[in-house]
Each structure stands twice: as C-alpha cells, then as structure tokens.
C-alpha cells in the first residue's frame, strides 16, 4: 500500500467527517491549482500559435492581393490579345473576300467572253443565212440558164433539121433555079449565126459552172467555220458549267466550312488550354527562324474523313500527342522547348517526327483479305495531313494496322487475324 492510501485510511479511522471533508477539498483545490497552471501554459502556447498563424494569414492576404492585381493585369492582357486576334481574323476574312471577288471577276470575264462568242456565232449565223440566200439565187440562175440552154438546144436541133431540109430542098432546086442561091446564102448566114451563139453559150456555160463551184466551196468553208465556232461555244459552255461554276461554289463552301471548324476549335481551345493557343500564335509568327517545318498540334493539322474516324483516332492517340507540336529537326525541337516551356513557361508538349515525303508503313494484312469479315479500311486510310505526322502515328500507335469495320465484324471476331490486335466495328 502506498503512503497516500495509508494516510487516507488512517484519517478515515481516526479523524472526524469534517476534517476528512476539509482534506478532500484541499486535494481538489490542489488538483485545480495544478490544472490551472497547465491550462495557462497551454493557453500561452495557443496564443503564440495564433500570433504565428496571424502573421502567416497576413502574408497570405498580401500574396492574395498581389495575385488579384496580377490576375487583373492578366485579364487586361487577354482582352488585348483577343482584340489582336479579332483584328487578324478580320484581315483573314478580308483576304478571303478579296479572293472571292477575284473569282467572281474571273467568272464575269468568262461570261463576257461567252457573250462575245455568242454574238460572233449569231453574226456567223446571219452570214450563213445570207450565203444560203445567195446560193438559192445562184441555183435559180443555174436553173434559168439550163432552161435557156435547153431552149437553145431545141432551137439548134430545129435549125439543124431546117438545114437538112434546106439542103435537100437546095439539092432539089439547085438545078431548077439560080435564084435559090440567095436563099442558101441566107440560110448559111443564119447557120453561122446560130453556131456562133452556140459557141458563146458553151463559153458562158463553163464560166457559170466555175462560179457555181466557187460559191459551193465558199459555202462549205463557211459551214465548217460555223460548226467550229459552234463547237467552241459548246466547249466554253460545258467548261463554264462543269468546271468554273462548281469550282467557285466548292471553294466558297470549303472556305466557310474550314473557317467554322477552325474557329470552333480555337474557341474551345481558348477556354480549355489558353497556353496552347498562345504557343500556336507564337509559332505561327516565328516559323521562319527554324531550319525545318514546325507543325501545329495534330488536332489542327490532320483532317479526318468522317466523324466516326475522328472518334476512333481520339480513342487510340493520347491527348498529349494530339495537342503536341511536331518538329522535323531535333535541334529545332530543343530550341522550341527552351522557348515555350522554359522562357515563356507555357505548359505545352513538343515531339520529334522524321521528315518524309511518302508513308513508310504498310498494313501487315492487306485490306482485300479482311473485306469479307466486314472491314472496310485501316485507320490510316481515314486520316490525311502532313506525311511526317502520319508516319509518327503509324510508328507510335500502329494506326496502319488498326482495322475499321461495320456491324458485320461482330459475326467474324473469331476469324480476325492474330496479327491484328486492335480493330473497331460491330456492337
């Protein structure tokens, strides 16, 4: 038994209740005294901690105020940057409008040339009509000449017959009368006159035939020229309708679509990753200081043929690579990292892709061997853009071996070649 317990037992057996109560109160007061001293020390420690905390909060408040000032300045700079970007966009729109005006001017020139050809063809048609009319007149003259020639021939036959009759009569009457010599002389003169007229007609006949042949050749040449101009006009009309007008419409549609897609991406990027947008603007202004090509992030450089293909590509390629700049030279890559990440402190990614003019990767399994399984193409077939970026995706993600199919693929999953590790298709 310890001394305290022994003292308590002794007092309970010897002392009265009042004394025991006083002793108990004394013990409680002593405990309170000890506890009060301990609480006072704790309160002093707590007070010192609160003072330190107050000093830290004061520093935090100062830092918060400085941060608010920096944020305010940053917002001002962002507004200035947005204004500059707006000016650039307006300048680009102005350039596109000027290109559209030039295309319209070319279209107007083509239309004016077509109108000139059309008026020339109408003039040729008028000339052709005049030539036809002249030809008709010449034919009419030829017919009249032919009729005259027939009449002259009949007259000649008549004269010949009369000559024959006259000769017979002369032979009958030559012995009868010398007076009939004068009649014979007259008949001879008449015969010579008719013969002379016949010779003149023969000369005129060859001349008329030559003139008709000349007119015929002129008509043929005019017809050929007319057909040539007509064919040329048809070619111009066909070219204008089939090439120029659809080409202008396609260019306008393409410009509108590209502006909408790119502006949507830039607006989304401005909210999600302003550092990347700032880096893109800097690279666009300073590409000339690098020795090789610097490509913007793949999300801007690559074009996907379908929304389905874009979804597949985003599932395969990591986000950091989709939003990474690409350099064809390793020294350029180091300089770009130093500029963007170190000096400007922008959180962007930069990667290296070897320069190339052709795609260096081919599928291990030809597409013709898996067409019957429901596959229609490889993922690389749905992607178009700079060749170095496509080679980078093939080397890193094997997109040249990722098959794209339809719902029928689910029926032939057991028949897919083992070399194909990733494919899309089916339910």
Of residues 358 and 186, the one with the higher pLDDT is: 358
β-bridge partners, 383: 304
Q: Is 302 helix (H, G, I), strand (E, B) or coil?
A: coil
Question: Which range, of 120-124, 212-216, 249-253, 263-267, averages the lowest pLDDT?
Answer: 249-253
Q: pLDDT of 177-209, one tens digit each?
A: 566 566 667 777 777 777 777 777 677 767 767
Question: What separation, in Å, do the N-terminal and C-terminal C-alpha atoms of the chain show?
Answer: 84
Cα-Cα-Cα-Cα torsion 245, 246, 251, 255, nearest 10 degrees, comes to 110
What's the whole-number mean pLDDT along residues 387-405?
91
**pLDDT class of 174 with cuts at 50, 70, 90:** low
- pLDDT of 386 reads 92
| Selection from 374, 371, 363, 359 nearest residue 424 by Cα | 374
Q: How far apart are CA 83 and CA 94, in angstroms?
A: 16
- pLDDT of 424 reads 85
- pLDDT of 332 reads 92
Residue 388 has pLDDT above 90, yes or no: yes
Q: pLDDT of 28-83, one tens digit each?
A: 888 887 787 777 888 888 888 888 888 888 888 888 888 888 888 888 888 888 88
**pLDDT class of 390 with cuts at 50, 70, 90:** very high
- pLDDT of 173 reads 67
- pLDDT of 2 reads 67
Q: Where are the alpha helices (DSSP H) in 240-323?
A: 245-272, 274-286, 298-301, 307-316, 319-322
- pLDDT of 147 reads 83
Tokens representing residue 406 in the block: 């339809």
What's the whole-number mean pLDDT along residues 379-386?
90
DSSP 297: P
| % the chain with pLDDT above 90 | 11
What's the whole-number mean pLDDT along residues 231-251?
72
The CA–CA distances, whole Å, from 355 to 29, 289, 290, 293 equal 90, 18, 14, 9
Q: pLDDT of 252-288, one tens digit each?
A: 665 555 455 566 666 677 777 788 888 888 998 998 8
- pLDDT of 139 reads 81
Q: pLDDT of 12-33, one tens digit each?
A: 777 777 877 887 888 888 888 7
Residue 345 Ramachandran class (φ > 0 left, ψ -120 to 50 alpha, else beta): left
- pLDDT of 307 reads 81
Output the average pLDDT for the chain.
81
Tokens representing residue 342 in the block: 């170190």
Q: Kind and range of the H or E element at 389?
A: helix 387-397
Of residues 414 and 368, the one with the higher pLDDT is: 368
What's the whole-number mean pLDDT along residues 159-167?
74
């Amino acid at each position: 038994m310890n001394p305290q317990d022994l003292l308590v037992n002794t007092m309970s057996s010897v002392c009265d209740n009042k004394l025991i109560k006083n002793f108990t109160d004394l013990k409680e007061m002593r405990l309170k005294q000890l506890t009060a001293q301990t609480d006072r020390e704790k309160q002093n420690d707590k007070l010192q901690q609160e003072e330190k905390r107050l000093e830290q909060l004061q520093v935090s408040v100062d830092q918060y105020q400085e941060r608010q000032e920096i944020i305010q300045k940053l917002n001002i700079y962002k507004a200035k940057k947005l204004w500059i970007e707006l000016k650039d966009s307006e300048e680009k729109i102005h350039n596109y409008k000027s290109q559209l005006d030039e295309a319209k001017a070319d279209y107007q020139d083509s239309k004016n040339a077509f109108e000139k050809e059309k008026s020339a063809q109408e003039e040729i048609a008028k000339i052709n009509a005049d030539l036809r009319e002249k030809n008709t007149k010449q034919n009419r003259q030829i017919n009249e000449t032919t009729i005259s020639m027939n009449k002259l021939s009949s007259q000649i036959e008549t004269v010949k017959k009369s000559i024959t009759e006259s000769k017979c009569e002369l032979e009958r009457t030559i012995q009868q009368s010398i007076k009939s010599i004068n009649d014979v002389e007259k008949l001879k003169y008449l015969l010579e006159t008719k013969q002379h007229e016949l010779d003149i007609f023969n000369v005129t006949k060859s001349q008329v035939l030559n003139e008709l042949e000349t007119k015929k050749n002129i008509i043929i040449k005019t017809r050929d020229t007319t057909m040539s101009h007509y064919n040329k006009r048809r070619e111009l009309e066909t070219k204008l309708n089939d090439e120029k007008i659809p080409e202008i419409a396609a260019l306008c549609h393409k410009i509108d679509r590209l502006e909408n897609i790119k502006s949507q991406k830039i607006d989304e990027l401005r909210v999600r990753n302003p550092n990347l947008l700032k880096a893109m603007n800097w690279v666009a202004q300073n590409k000339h200081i690098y020795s090789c090509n610097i490509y913007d992030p793949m999300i801007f450089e690559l074009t996907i043929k379908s929304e389905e293909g874009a979804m597949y590509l985003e599932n395969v390629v990591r986000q950091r690579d989709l939003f990474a700049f690409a350099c064809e030279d390793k020294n350029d890559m180091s300089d770009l990292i130093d500029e963007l990440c170190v000096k400007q402190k922008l959180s962007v990614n930069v990667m290296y892709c070897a320069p190339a003019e052709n795609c260096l990767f081919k599928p291990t399994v030809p597409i013709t061997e898996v067409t019957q399984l429901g596959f229609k193409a490889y993922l690389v077939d749905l992607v178009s853009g700079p060749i170095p970026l496509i080679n980078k995706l093939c080397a890193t993600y094997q997109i040249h071996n990722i098959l794209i199919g339809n719902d029928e693929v689910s029926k032939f999953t057991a028949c897919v070649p083992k070399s194909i590790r990733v494919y899309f298709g089916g339910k």
